[in-house]
Structure 1
Amino acid sequence: MSAPTDQDGLRARKKQRTRAALIDAGLDLFAGSGYESTTVDEIAAAADVSPRTFFRYFASKEDLALAKGAEFDVLVVDALAGRPAAEPPLAALRGAVLEMLHAAADGDGVHRYLLTQHLITKNPALLAGNLRRSAEVEEQLTAEIARRQDLDPAADLRPRVLVGVVFAGLRIGLEAMCADPRRDAERMLELVREAVDLATAGIPERFSGGPGSW
């Protein structure tokens, strides 16, 4: 296999910029004209690309609208996989979620998140798609927690329950952020940290005993 060249890196960066431009154009148009009223042709024109190019990056408007959430999913799964092997499950998952939020909040990430969240809550199709996406990432995180603890997630509910409780706290913290007058990353992290800690207050750092108890 040939080694990557500077030209390969240039192409990859160009693709990244085109994808980001399409997401930015789409979110701006959704905010200004409404999700239903915005067409793929309009998004492509705003990003200065052809509709054909749009479909190289996204299967549909819905795919674009949920793209930021999908990026966050990759971040949190990668963050959990990169946590120290000896770290207890709750600390590892909590740390992965906060690490993902730190990365997601770079630049205007908070503004983009709030805009995306507003679109999702106002549009039933996007809400359904977002729920499917959340279920998929929770499955991946459950499998990773089970792997780290050498457990069978089909026989032991603790990894699934832990992920579900942490993600409930994450959702509540982000919903609180949407209603908060402050719009900075530190406030988002503060609210999510508080909600996750409240949600997991009864869960010990380490699993102990059999599958039926913490």
Structure 2
Amino acid sequence: MTGLRERKKQRTRDALVLAAHQLFVTQGYDTTTVDQIAEAVEVSQRTFFRYFANKEEVALFVQDMTVRRFFEGVCARPLSEAPLECLRRTLDETWEDVGEAIEAITPLELYLRMCQVIEVTPALLAAHLRHSLLVEQKLVQEIARRTGLDPERDPRPRVLVAAFTGVMLSAGRHWGLRDGVSLEEARRVTREHVEQLGPALSADWRQDR
């Protein structure tokens, strides 16, 4: 059970995330200062830096949390599943839990608007891509562990993870730049993209013309 001290720290951290995201979506990431975020929560700048190293970290906090939840879900899947099926089922079965985790920190509408801010802010988009590469490396190691392959000798874990994460990023851009998109619509678009991964790589598209 989480102690009172830890719950208080979590509430302060979440309040900083919420305030930061509200400021980022209303006045822009670049023009928002750490002092403004701290002031909105009525804490000192020093308190802000106890929780976050910089604005980038607080801006990407929820994004990083969702990716971490996904990775943990992959690690928990049965070893009998084929690698791509493991990734697809993890995405589908963790979606609602991730949505609840997001809502515990920020309204979904604000989260989705923050996704748009990330997409149109070069510094944040670059940081998001860096974070994605780090998770991609962890996923490669996990897929290799599950299949008993050495990713340095067999490229399949790297190829699969690169394709999957690329599709996820593409789906995120597709729905992230839309106005008024719901989490369910985001889920539909993401699922649609992932389901096309296999056919896009193996089918003869000319047959569909």
**TM-score range normalised by the length of the shorter chain:** 0.7 to 0.9
> Across the two proteins, how many residue pairs are aligned to each other?
198
In the alignment, is residue 23 of structure 1 matched against residue 21 of structure 2? no
Letter in 2 for 1:174: G
- Contact 1:142 1:153 (8 Å CA) reproduced: yes
More helix by share: 2
Q: Write the distance in 2 (CA, Å) between the matches of 1:89 and 1:203.
A: 16
- Contact 1:85 1:148 (8 Å CA) reproduced: yes
Pairwise CA distance, 1:105: 2.0
Q: Structure 2 vs 1, CA of residues 185 and 123 (structure 1 numbering), >3 Å: closer, same or farther? A: closer
Q: Write the distance in 2 (CA, Å) between the matches of 1:42 and 1:99.
A: 38
- Pick the aligned partner of 2:126 from 102, 125, 128: 128
- Contact 1:66 1:116 (8 Å CA) reproduced: no
Q: Write the distance in 1 (CA, Å) between the matches of 2:174 and 2:107.
A: 16
Letter in 1 for 2:174: A
- Contact 1:26 1:64 (8 Å CA) reproduced: yes
User: Hey, what does 2:88 align to over in structure 1?
Assistant: 94
Pairwise CA distance, 1:77: 1.0
Letter in 2 for 1:19: R
State the TM-score, normalized to the length of structure 2: 0.86
For residues 103-145 of structure 1, give each alpha carbon's deviation from its aligned partner in whole angstroms, at most 9, with x where no partner exists: 3322356424422222222222112111110000011011000
User: Hey, what does 2:41 align to over in structure 1?
Assistant: 47
Runs of 5+ consecutive residues of structure 2 not aligned to the other structure: 203-209
User: Hey, what does 2:59 align to over in structure 1?
Assistant: 65
Q: What RMSD over aligned residues (CA atoms) do the two structures have, in Å?
A: 2.0
User: Hey, what does 2:31 align to over in structure 1?
Assistant: 37
Pairwise CA distance, 1:181: 5.4
Q: Indicate the percent of aligned positions where both proteins have the same amino acid.
A: 40
Q: Structure 2 vs 1, CA of residues 182 and 199 (structure 1 numbering), >3 Å: closer, same or farther? A: farther
State the TM-score, normalized to the length of structure 1: 0.84
Runs of 5+ consecutive residues of structure 1 not aligned to the other structure: 1-5, 205-214
Q: Write the distance in 1 (CA, Å) between the matches of 2:180 and 2:27.
A: 25
Pairwise CA distance, 1:61: 0.5
- Contact 2:34 2:48 (8 Å CA) reproduced: yes
